[in-house]
A and B are shown apart, each in its own frame.
Chain A
Amino acid sequence: MKRRTSATARQKQAVSAPPERWELRLYVAGQTARSAIALANLERICEEHLKGQYHIELIDLLKNPRLARGDQILALPTLVRKLPAPMKKIIGDLSNEERVLIGLDLRPLGREGT
């Protein structure tokens, strides 16, 4: 298991937004090109939209196969939003950012301030 926590940074956006805690889990199987792309995409998106609010847990199922059962993982890579509730699941290498934002229920930047 690999933990990457973003550096505590202030939010880019209005301070008025409630400080939400984002718990994200990225499931992959081994160090494949696809898992690397997925992780890179995820980190980029989080830095952009959730700076300072998120925590990514990277789970390699080849090392911990039993964890696949708990979150009902089938497709890989899978990103699971544990918090905030409700739980959300996103599959694929996260290269379609728009769909990732929809999947995570993150409003696009442009509209957020208004």
Chain B
Amino acid sequence: MPLQPLPKVPSGVHGLDEITGGGLPRGRPTLICGGAGCGKTLFAMEFLVRGATEHGEPGVFMAFEETAEELAANVASLGFDLRRLVAQRKLAIDYVRVERSEIEETGEYDLEGLFVRLQYAIDSVGAKRVVLDTIESLFSGLPNPAVLRAELRRLFRWLKDRKMTVVITGEKGEGTLTRQGLEEYVSDCVIFLDHRVTDQTSTRRLRVVKYRGTTHGTNEYPFLIDEGGISILPVTSLGLAHRVTNERVSTGIPRLDEMLGGRGYFKGSTILVSGTAGTGKTTFAAILARAATERGDRCLYFCFEESPDQLVRNMRSVGVDLKSPVKSGTLEIHAARPSTHGLERHLVTMHKVINQRRPDVVIVDPVNNLVRVGTLLETQAMIIRLIDFLKARGITTFFTSLTGGGDDLEQTDIGISSLIDTWLNLEVVKNGGERNRTVAIVKSRGMAHSNQTSEYILGARGVSIADTYLGVSGVLTGSARLAKEAEDEAAARVADRAIVRKQGERERRRRQVEAQILLLREGLDADDADLAGAIQEGHVRLQAETLRMAKSRPAFVARGHRGKAKGPGVRKRR
């Protein structure tokens, strides 16, 4: 490894710099090869245009196949205005036409004319970048390949000496990268473009075959050509280094917030709602969208089943107003049939819109419809990329996933459950001639969450989650729940009445006791009166007796008086 890292120039092609760790090798040639229609010329043109407009490096486009006018027309659809760039002296286009029939070889020659033209073009704009598209056509135009090969070798040396960053395009050959073996001359960086059709859907792919002196991503990366130029998706290189937050966002359903530790989803987490048809996945999504927009967050809704209008109308029926956020621009609904594009196009479109709009919440409804476009493996890879991409930006992501009937409900058919932070499972419970909906939290990373399966009701005012009743066969739903509720209410009333009755009884008993106490006291008082009467009587008799005795024996008078004094003391004690 060299101590001095290889100097690189930003290619200007979205995503390529991430794969190559900074761009194309500065001052060296890069070969872009691939079959017909794989996007070589556009790639090369974008390299020049971005260089000229964004990196202050004017460029020369030496075209061997198309005239300057044709080129300008071809890339106008990508938003490149070549005429203006030429007028601003940021770009020089030289069309080199070689007509075999017009040329007669009469002796020794070289391609100095090409060098002269290149030098002139480079000098005219002060170019730092050069594109040769496709220099191979010289092989068919010039009679002597030996001379041509020697001259090409000289040309690349010449370009290197002038420190030009060069992109050369080359047509794919049979079993070789290019038909004329251009890779022999360009050994620094070779990028291969491929355009293939699988199941009637076309995908473009890019691979860095070789990049001398530097590490690079070696995978095949899907790329797209659209009105913004070329975009490559190197998202697999992102890894798991995103920052997380403790901030929470409401689900839009208070009871569901409660079930999720009282505060809803984590901001920036990935949420999956799975369920069979008609379980209300879209409604949960719409409610989240509404809650987000009401908070003032921006929300993007990717809809693969309904048109935006249909979604807005349908959600109005459950009292979720999406129209006003759509009008105010906080909610954007992007609807597309999955089969209209290849997977990559979907992914790139989503990337682009997300990069443009910078939303806080992204909803993909339903995510597994995309499987119809690609293979399971591809879709899985795409979703992983999308999740990485969104996580890296701290965007709360909400996927819905349709579970087919008969499948294990706690499994997504695209096998992304392990990537999900919070997973809600919606089910339809058939019981007592009814279909009722339940919601359960399968998992929710990093927060305490309810373990209960709860019934929820789709009403005119959205989703409301009912109290949980457990019956013999699990959670009671629908009428069974209502019956249970009624039963509970009746039982409560019975209990209330029993208490009232008991209170009455006690009061009566108290009154009885009090009456008895009164009676006893009266009896006692009567006794007292009797006793007093008797004592009085006794006294009188004693006095009479004493008097009588005193009359007969006077010496006993004093004693008799003492006995009389004792009398009141006894009475007091009673």
- Which of these, B102, B107, B110, B115, contacts A94 with CB under 8 Å? B107
Complex interface residues of chain B between 104 and 144 (CB less than 8 A to chain A): 104-117, 119-120, 138, 141-142
**In contact, B113 and A92 (Cβ under 8 angstroms):** no
Q: Does A102 contact B (CB under 8 A)?
A: yes
Q: Is A54 an interface residue (CB 8 A)?
A: no
* Chain B: CB-nearest residue to A80: B102
Give chain A nearest CB distance to B226 CB in angstroms: 33
Are A78 and B113 in touch, CB under 8 angstroms?
yes
Chain B min CB distance to A30 (Å): 8
Produce 1/0 per residue, B554-570, CB < 8 A to A. Answer: 00000000000000000
* B197 within 8 Å of A (CB atoms): no
Interface segment out of the listed A1-9, A14-22, A60-68: A60-68
Collect the chain B residues with CB atoms within 8 Å of residue A79's CB.
106
Contact B120 A96 (CB under 8 A): no
Q: In the complex, are the beta carbons of A65 and B106 less than 8 A apart?
A: no
With A29-B112, A72-B96, A75-B142 given, is the CB distance from A65 to B105 under 8 Å? no
Mask, A73-92, CB within 8 Å of B = 1, is: 11111110000000111111
Q: Is B291 an interface residue when CB atoms closer than 8 A count as contact?
A: no
A93 CA to B109 CA in the complex, in Å?
Answer: 6
Q: Is the CB of B113 within 8 A of A76?
A: yes
B97 A103 Cβ-Cβ under 8 A: no
Give every chain A residue within 8 A of B392 (Cβ-Cβ): none
Residue of B nearest to A103 (CB): B104
Alpha-carbon distance A87/B104, docked complex (angstroms): 12
CB <8 Å contact, B106 and A76 = no
A100 CB within 8 Å of chain B: yes
Chain A contacts of B103 at CB under 8 A? 75, 89-91
Q: Are A100 and B106 in contact (CB under 8 A)?
A: yes
Are A68 and B110 interface neighbours, CB within 8 A?
A: no
Convert B91-105 into 0s and 1s, putting 1 for each residue whose CB lies closer than 8 angstroms to a CB of A: 000101111001111
Task: Identify which of A62, A88, A99, A103 contacts B116 (C-beta below 8 A).
Answer: A62
Given known contacts A74-B98, A89-B102, A68 and B107 CB-to-CB distance under 8 angstroms: no
Contact B116 A61 (CB under 8 A): yes
Q: Which residues of A lie under 8 Å from residue B113 when comparing CB positions?
A: 27, 29, 61, 68, 73-76, 78
Considering the chains assembled together, what is the distance between the CA atoms of A100 and B107 in angstroms?
Answer: 9
In chain A, what residue has the closest Cβ to B108?
A93
From residue A98, how far is it (CB to closest CB) to chain B in Å?
9
A34 touches B (CB below 8 Å): yes
Counting CB contacts under 8 A, is A95 at the interface? Answer: yes
- A77 near B109 with CB under 8 A, answer yes
Chain B residue numbers with a CB within 8 Å of A75 are 103, 109-114, 142
In the complex, chain B residues whose CB is within 8 Å of the CB of A111 = none
* A76 in contact with B104 given A65-B117, A69-B94 (CB within 8 Å): no
Write the nearest CB–CB distance from B401 to chain A, whole angstroms: 60
Interface centre among A62, A73, A89, A92 (most CB of B within 10 A): A92
Say how far B113's CB is from chain A's closest CB, in angstroms: 4
CA gap between A114 and B65 in the complex, in Å? 45
- Least CB distance, A69 to chain B, in whole angstroms: 6
In Å, the complex CA distance between A27 and B103 comes to: 14
Number of B positions contacting A (CB below 8 A): 26
Q: With contacts A65-B120, A75-B142 known, is A91 near B105, CB below 8 A? A: yes
Residues of A contacting B109 in the complex (Cβ-Cβ under 8 angstroms): 34, 75-78, 91-93
| B66-110 CB contacts (< 8 Å) to partner A | 94, 96-99, 102-110
Contact of A99 among B104, B111, B119 (CB under 8 A): B104
Q: How far is the CB of A54 from chain B (nearest CB, A)?
A: 17
Which of B99, B120, B138, B141 lies at the interface centre, i.e. has the most chain A CB atoms within 10 A of its CB?
A: B120
Pick the contact of B104: A27, A77, A89 (CB < 8 A): A89
| Chain B residues positioned under 8 Å from A90 (CB to CB) | 103-106
Q: Is the CB of A92 within 8 A of B116?
A: no
The CA of A38 and the CA of B107, in the complex, are separated in Å by: 9
Task: Identify which of residues 488-502 in chain B touch chain A, using a CB-to-CB cut-off of 8 Å.
Answer: none
- B106–A29 touching, CB < 8 Å: no
B102 touches A76 (CB 8 A): no
Complexed CA–CA distance, A17 and B99 (Å): 31
A88 and B104 alpha carbons, distance in the complex (Å): 8
Q: Are B96 and A103 closer than 8 Å at their CB atoms?
A: no
Name A96's closest neighbour in chain B (CB-CB).
B106
In the bound complex, do residue B117 and residue A68 qualify as a contact, i.e. CB atoms below 8 Å apart?
A: yes
Residues of B within 8 A of A102 (CB): 104
B106, B107, B117 — which one has the most chain A CB atoms within 10 A of its CB? Answer: B106
Measured between alpha carbons, how far is A94 from B209 in the docked complex, in Å?
44
Known: A29-B112, A74-B96, A76-B112. A69 touches B106 (CB 8 A): no
B104 contact set on A, CB distance < 8 A: 88-91, 99-100, 102-103
Contact between B110 and A76 (Cβ–Cβ < 8 Å)? yes
- Jot down 14 A-B pairs with beta carbons below 8 A, ordered by A: A29-B112, A61-B113, A61-B116, A68-B113, A72-B97, A72-B98, A74-B117, A75-B109, A75-B142, A76-B116, A79-B106, A89-B104, A92-B106, A99-B104
List 17 additional A-B contacts (Cβ < 8 Å) besides A75-B109, A75-B113, A92-B105: A29-B112, A29-B115, A61-B116, A62-B116, A65-B116, A74-B113, A75-B110, A76-B113, A76-B116, A89-B99, A91-B109, A93-B109, A94-B107, A96-B107, A99-B104, A99-B107, A103-B106
Question: What are the nearest 4 A-B pairs in CB distance?
Answer: A103-B104, A92-B107, A65-B120, A93-B107
